[in-house]
Amino acid sequence: MGRKVTIASATLNQWALDFEGNLDRILQSIMDAKEMGATFRTGPELEIWLLSERRIWMLNGYNCQDHFYESDTYLHSWEVLAELLSAPLCKDMLIDVGIPVMHKNAAYNCRLVFLNKSILLIRPKKVLAGEGNYREHRWFSTWKTTDISYNWPAVPFGDAVISTLDTCIGFEICEELWCSASQHIPLSLDGVEIICNGSGSHTQLRKNYILTDLVENATMKCGGCYVFSNLRGCDGERVYFDGTSSITLNGAIISRTKQFALDEVVADQPISIGQEVIAATIDLEDIRCYRYSKRSLSDLASGSQSYPRIAVDFLLSQDFDAILPTVHPISFTTLTPEEEIVQGPACWLWDYLRRSGQGGLFLPLSGGIDSSSTATIVYSMCRMIVDNIQRIGEKSYHQNIVIDKAVSACLEIFSVITGLFPKFAANGGCARQNMALQNIQARVRMVAILQFVMNKSIW
């Protein structure tokens, strides 16, 4: 029995109505993990969700909203899981996926672990997010009991851990990392060495600083390996999931994905990939030695709660791994708030544009701070696209449209009716007149350009 384990974390860019691409991305992430030598793969929160129409599969992630009220959602999710279970690609790999599950007429946000066509554990979420942009209590229930329930023979449902022949794996789900009663502390005290967290965490200014501290501190206190997996992209809602999946060992990050990226699958074209998979080889003895050295940890562990253990006849390590190199802590630069402002909305805008099926953006510029800021974000998006694919299509162009006659016509109509003729502040008008004239200019410009765009697309 060896002691070195290679684990993989997948960052997926899932689409809300992509009938084939989302399943392909999950399978592709499993293939990538295997090519990296991983024997365990984890993915983001609710990466499996399916709506079936004419037997065409659609997997989707987090923002399904009221579709979670539909029984078909859960039925078809199991059908998609069956596709994964039967895929030869998944053989001899321990795989952890996110899936919604209906249990005793209650819906749960779950992690599901399977190996070689057998479901080992369904672990429901214990703490739901209900602040800010999140409304998980609207669709899901929290799992509050410590008992293990059996929905099918030999398939445990509840808060348990996976015990392989060489290590022990536990689970957190998104909000459980952020709350005051995080699960990674009692899991570590019970001897769990690898803790996985499948998340759907959206971008927010300076949030990445907090996330980095959380995943580092999760293993700095008690030791262990923390595998964090997050979604990426705009899956039809107002938020943007910013990736930043990571693998942390004993308080130090040893592998990490990009925070913002424009990745997407383009079939048979080597442009970019719709997922980003990271892998790291760790020495389990590093975890054990780290914990041995903390005597207070040993004292706490002797009186800690015990989790139900699901015994699995499977080795994550290899028999002969003496020459297998392990990874070391990495250095990385966290984006400043200004960089997040420029890159985050630009990535969301690109995702929204390509998913809408439109051919481009319509950006009227009035010269004010609002339109100038929007133009800056669009410029950032364009630069990121160029840097990402290293090629550019048809160049954009700028066209001056003189709207003086249209503005004068509006003012003449106004003066005929009211007998008044507003002036700009530079010409002696008051602030209210100045604002009214600026609004007229903006509206005329908008209508003129919109008609130009619409007619051009028709003719």
Query: Which residues are tagged catalytic?
Result: 45, 125, 174, 366
Residue 292 CA to residue 271 CA, distance in Å, equals 47
| Pick from 125, 112, 111, 50: nearest CA to 85 | 112
Q: Distance between CA 154 and CA 149 in Å, rounded?
A: 10
Contact between residue 186 and residue 138 where contact means Cβ atoms under 8 Å apart: no
Give pairs for 253-258: CB < 8 Å, separation 24+.
Answer: 253/212, 253/215, 253/216, 253/329, 253/330, 253/332, 254/280, 254/282, 254/327, 254/328, 254/329, 254/330, 255/9, 255/279, 255/280, 255/327, 255/330, 256/330, 256/332, 257/9, 257/11
Residues in the chain: 459
Rounded distance, CA 251 to CA 292, Å?
15
Instruction: Name the phi and psi angles at 11, rounded to 5.
Output: -105, 120
Nearest Cα neighbor of 19 from 47, 54, 59 is 59
Task: Identify residue 219 by its one-letter amino acid code.
Answer: T
What burial letters (b/e) apply to 301-327, b meaning 16+ CB within 10 Å?
beeeeebeebebebbbbbeebeebeeb
Decide: 137 and 201 in contact? Cβ < 8 Å. no
Cβ atoms of 337 and 205 within 8 Å: the answer is yes
Place of tokens 């250095």: 331
* CA 77/CA 360 separation, integer angstroms: 34
Token representation of residue 29: 């992430």
- For residues 190 and 207, give the distance between their C-alpha atoms in angstroms, rounded to a whole number: 30
